[in-house]
Structure formats: C-alpha cells, structure tokens
Amino acid sequence: MSETMRAVRQHSFGGPEVLQIEEVPRPEPLWTEVLVRVHAAGVNPVDCKTRSGGGISPTQGPLPITIGWDVSGVVEAIGSGVTRFAPGDEVYGMVNFPRIGAGYAEYVTVDSRQLTFKPDRLTHEEAAGVPLVALTAWQSLVSVGRTGPGTRVLVHGAAGGLGHLAVQIARARGAWVCGTVGTRQVDLVKSLGIDEAYDYTKVRFEDLAHDIDVVVDTVAGDNGLRSLKTMRAGGVLVSLPVPPDDETVAEAARLGLRAVSLTVETDRSDLEHITALIEAGALRPIIGTVLPLERADKAHELIETGQAQGKVVLKVR
C-alpha cells in the first residue's frame, strides 16, 4: 500500500476553482479508528459553503484542508481496540462532522463507531449519497418530530437531495406526506409515494395543506411563517438551511407550535435504522451526477448553480 494518496485540497477559501488534486501522505488509523479506502464521496451544500469560507469553515483548522463528510468504501486497516470491523468490510457513513472530514480523498481515517456496513442493495456511489442528508431527515422527522402512524408531514423541497429521502422516511414511518416541488419534479415525488405534491409555481401550499404535525423545511425564505398556517397544535417546524427567524418563532409559540433548527449529528444507531429501510426497499437515494474525484470543482458548480438533479457524488475508485 502506497504511503501517499490523491486528495482534493484547498489552500484558500473561494470559488470551486480552489479545489485542486494533490498527492499527500496517507493517514494511519489511531486507536479505535479504521482506515477506509474510499470508493465514493458524497457532495453536499455544506461542502460548498465551507469551501467558500462559510458553513462550518471555523471548525476546519488552518489551511490547507480537505473537505467532504460522506464516504462509502472498504476497510483497509484497523487501529487498536476496533472490534466492529475487519479489513475488507464494506462501510459507509458521515465521518468526523463537524470537524475536518477529509472525505474527498482516496483514504480517510475515522472512528469506527461513526460507520456502519454499507447496504448490499446499493453501489458505493449510491451509498455515498445517503448519510448526511438521510441522517438530517431522520433526526428531523423522528428525533424531533416523533413521526409515526397517523402523523401528517409537510416537506418543502420534496424532490431535493434531502427532501426526497425525508418523503420516503416519513412514508416508511407510517405518516401521510405532502410536499412542495417544481413542475418538473411532480412525477418524481409521486413515484416516491408522496400523498400530495404541491407545484409551487401554480398553487399556494398553505391553501391546500392542513392539520400538519411536522414540517421539514429545506428551502427557508417565507416558507416557515406560511407553514404555521397549515399546522395543528403541538406541531413542530424544523428549519434546516437556517434557523427560523424571530417572527416565526414568536408566531409558532402563540399558536401552540414549535419552530426549531437542527444540526445533523453522526449517530450510528440512526444510520443503522436508515440502512434497514434501504435493505427493506423502503428507501432509495436518487443519484443525479457521478463525477471523478478530479472534478470536485464541477460538482460544486452543479450544486451552487442549482443544476444538480438528485445527489452529486465523486467516484474515487
């Protein structure tokens, strides 16, 4: 095994052009860590924000850095104390978040308890598109929203990278689900089992949705305040791109509702629940674009310009 590897590095914050392939030392696993030979790395909006100097850039330490938190690959080596995995195991997960992820690379070291076995039903490219968005959706719907049979859920951006998984998770939990989408995405979300799809170019969702218990808002803007009109007492609005503004929080409290934000956490138990849904055929990621590691800049361009359809993934091997 070579002592070096290819990795995407940035020596400054800025546009996608700051992402460059370099040859760097291959990391070694410490106690309780595994070394993963990365086959694919997922690309998320937080990657783009962090690359530009926003997002979670304050936690990344001094430049140069390698970003990326979603990986799927094969265990190459294990550190002392690791009992869950052995070399050759196929694994996936959201690694090291919110600290330096270093997922855009041929190898990454990670605490073994941040990983779980890759679903057999998925390729590495498909698996790499799952962890961060699926964990965010799960924690919004289940940990915060307590979604279950009889729950009514509204998902804003229901066809997006996070939204399309939120729809499926809510349905798998027995909920009735509606969501907002663009005209071109109506058929897609219907194929995922959504009960009602609202084309935001043609209708106002607050005129149609009612008695909602949980709102998962991946869009923000005025959606949060408008969503309160659709909800019944005791419901919760989870705002994911940005925290709800003061007006929305105050109005929610007046109506007997909650308006909260959520930052995703690496949670192996949650990821195992997600894996079980995938293996049961109840959850499938939609991968729109797969690019080579060398084109991380293009992957970021697709996300930032809104051209991405489905998840964007970097193929490392």
What distance in Å separates the CA atoms of residue 219 and residue 153, rounded to the nearest whole number?
15
pLDDT on residue 162: 94
Per-residue model confidence as pLDDT tens digits over 243-287: 999 999 999 999 999 999 999 999 999 999 999 999 999 999 999
3-class DSSP state of 186: helix
Q: DSSP letter for 16, please.
A: G
Residue 309 confidence (pLDDT) above 80: no
Q: Which of 60-69, 173-182, 234-243, 303-312 has the lowest mean pLDDT?
A: 303-312
Q: What is the mean pLDDT of the chain?
A: 96
Residue 310 confidence (pLDDT) above 90: no
Stretch 166-186: mean pLDDT = 97
Per-residue model confidence as pLDDT tens digits over 30-62: 999 999 999 999 999 999 999 999 999 999 999
pLDDT on residue 114: 97
pLDDT on residue 291: 98
Orientation angle between helical segments 163-172 and 268-279, nearest 10 degrees: 80
Q: List, in sequence order, every residue forming a beta bridge with 43; answer none if it has no partner.
A: 312
What percent of the chain lies above the pLDDT cut of 70? 100
pLDDT on residue 45: 94
Residue 244 one-letter amino acid: P
Could you give the domains of the chain?
4-130+285-315 (3.90.180.10), 133-261 (3.40.50.720)
Cβ atoms of 209 and 154 within 8 Å: the answer is yes
Stretch 230-240: mean pLDDT = 97
Pairing of strands 4-9, 20-25: antiparallel
Stretch 140-159: mean pLDDT = 97
